[in-house]
Amino acid sequence: MYEIISLIKRNIKIYLRDPLAVFFSFLSTIILMFIYIMFLGDVGGAELSALLSPGELDLLIYSNMMAGVIVLNTLTIPLGNLGTIISDFEYNRMNAFMVTPVKRYKIILGYYFASLLITLTFSLMIWWLASIVLGLVTGIFYTFSTVITVSGLIVVFVFISTSFMILLTTFIKSVNAFGAVSGIFGSIIGFVSGIYIPLTSSSPSVLRHISSVVPFTHMTLKLKEILLKPSLDIVYAKTNGNAEAVANIRDGFGGQPIGLLGMDMSLTLLLILAGIVSILVLIYSSYRLNKRIKA
């Protein structure tokens, strides 16, 4: 156990002492916030502006953004810090581990748990801080139960995302290639998962089908289901219980579940399936890393 803890500390320190690695871990999140601030600030249109107060409209728009920010963080932060694996192989630091009595599975666990802890810490801190700032700006705070529920989901999402990201790193052979992948990965996932551009009922069916097999899409939808609820409840009350108006707004913000390949499936079931797949992915990733270490 001592060896694993030492390896975790070592991997965390390597990541945190490189400001550039930390910056690129948040690059996709910065891009998302820039898009919302510069281009989507008036996404509500005249009808919503007339229906909702400025604070209520801001809550609706930035709650939608926050769902994407949280999911992107659970993806890009682990990808950024798992780059340690690539550099250890390329610069032959892995050979130093091989002349020690540390077992290979402990080395792999050191990478995984370091990434898990870093991602979980940053993701929770950003969520808690953002919920406070958004409340101060709009005058409407999320309920305590919402904050706790989202925090619990973040724990699950970090596990799922880190498992997929460690698999991705096993296919990257050089630091240069890793830099290129890190630069474009967040943007690609942002579009496919409906984070940058909402997946609505009018989106191309091909795109919806592709997005439906990506677990990060359903993670985003689950967060939108929770975070958009306070705003949609306000709309429901102000339209005298007009459920159709609420449904249209939810769809416009990409908050309607899309199922799996055109089949209706609950978000809960889809997230359970994603969790099961992530366990299998983690096992396969461990096999690939162990095989590479032996080579």
Whether the per-residue pLDDT at 128 is higher than 70: the answer is yes
Q: Is the pLDDT of residue 15 over 80?
A: yes
Q: How many CB atoms lie within 10 A of CB 102?
A: 15
The model's pTM is 0.90
pLDDT greater at residue 180 or residue 288: 288
Biggest CA–CA distance in the chain, Å, is 72
Q: Which residue has the higher pLDDT, 96 or 41?
A: 96
d(CA 195, CA 283): 28
Q: Can you read off the two tokens belonging to residue 44?
A: 């509500």
Q: Given this model, what pLDDT does residue 177 score?
A: 83
Quick check: 42 pLDDT over 60?
no
CA distance 289 to 75: 20
pLDDT value, residue 150: 96
Average pLDDT value for the chain: 85
- Mean pLDDT throughout 220-230? 93
Task: Output the CA angle 57-58-62, nearest 5 degrees.
Answer: 125
Q: Is the pLDDT of residue 37 over 70?
A: no
Locate the domains of the chain by residue range: 2-193+279-294
Q: Using alpha carbons, select from 36, 107, 83 the residue that is nearest to residue 293.
A: 107
Q: Which helix (H) or strand (E) holds 282?
A: helix 267-294
Q: Judge whether residue 41 has pLDDT over 60.
A: no
Query: Is a pLDDT exceeding 70 seen at residue 194?
Result: yes
Phi-psi map region of 17: left, alpha, beta (phi>0 left; psi -120 to 50 alpha): alpha
